[in-house]
Chain A
Amino acid sequence: QVQLLQSGGEVKEPGASVKLSCKASGYTFTQEAVHWLRQAPGQRPQWMAWINPGTGGSVVSQKFRGRFAISADISAATVFLDAATLMSEDTAVYYCAKEKGGRYDFWGQGSLVSVSS
């Protein structure tokens, strides 16, 4: 069965960096795009970036370009999200999700990133 297993929660100070991971299993990793979304407390999910592990093609939302980067390791069937210069507004649950024709049919369990001094 399809599973996306995310790394654990993180507590960071403003200005720090964090790298989240999302290990995929149960499907052919190189044939499906994986996205990162985040959800601030009490808010709707917000799309951040996607990557096609098979081609290496990726897009980061204009809103997040510059501080966030997405990458993948095919040998480990893992997608990463790098976040730099964290701010308090980046406090959220970060989800990876497998795309099926534009919608998200499988999600990771979420990684809470808390940014506070």
Chain B
Amino acid sequence: DIEMTQSPSTLSASVGDRVTITCRVGQSTSHFLAWYQQKPGKAPKLLISQASTLENGVPSRFSGRGSGTEFTLTITSLQPDDSATYYCQQYINYPFTFGPGTKVDIK
């Protein structure tokens, strides 16, 4: 299985801050990397696919970059509604695997 790591595991930031989450993959996934947002008691929501393509309806303050084995999710101007856990997922090889998650809290 392709191993996934994320850093940091948790972060606390203020409204309006810029935050960046890093996802590292055990082997190259090219650009086959997605980001999800999950709030407590809810299913994950797809934010970004193909490493950098924003899904319809996702606010433009979210952006993704990277290829190969290192990827980032950036939220510019953090909003209260962004409080959630964020997961990356590789889909180049089965079994598709997810990172351990990054919990984002609002100070």
Our pick among B43, B55, B95, B98 for the contact of A109 (Cβ within 8 Å) is B43
Our pick among A59, A95, A103 for the contact of B89 (Cβ within 8 Å) is A103
Our pick among A47, A59, A61, A95 for the contact of B43 (Cβ within 8 Å) is A95
- Inter-chain contact A104/B32, CB cutoff 8 Å: no
Count of chain B residues with Cβ under 8 Å from any Cβ of A? Answer: 22
- Inter-chain contact A103/B91, CB cutoff 8 Å: yes
- Inter-chain contact B87/A102, CB cutoff 8 Å: no
Q: How far is the CB of A6 from chain B (nearest CB, A)?
A: 10
Q: In the complex, A115→B49 CA distance in Å?
A: 34
- Inter-chain contact B46/A44, CB cutoff 8 Å: no
- Inter-chain contact A102/B96, CB cutoff 8 Å: yes
Q: In the complex, A100→B91 CA distance in Å?
A: 11
One digit per residue, 1 when the CB lies within 8 angstroms of any chain B CB and 0 when it does not, for chain A 70-96 equals 000000000000000000000000010
One digit per residue, 1 when the CB lies within 8 angstroms of any chain A CB and 0 when it does not, for chain B 73-94 equals 0000000000000010101101
Q: In the complex, A101→B49 CA distance in Å?
A: 9
One digit per residue, 1 when the CB lies within 8 angstroms of any chain A CB and 0 when it does not, for chain B 26-69 equals 00000010101000001111100100000100000000000000
Q: Does B97 contact A (CB under 8 A)?
A: yes
- Inter-chain contact A102/B95, CB cutoff 8 Å: no
Q: In the complex, A73→B5 CA distance in Å?
A: 37
In A1-49, the 8 Å CB interface with B consists of: 44-47
- Inter-chain contact B43/A102, CB cutoff 8 Å: no
Report 9 cross-chain contacts, Cβ distance below 8 Å, ordered by A residue.
A45-B44, A45-B89, A59-B94, A95-B43, A95-B44, A101-B49, A103-B46, A104-B34, A110-B43
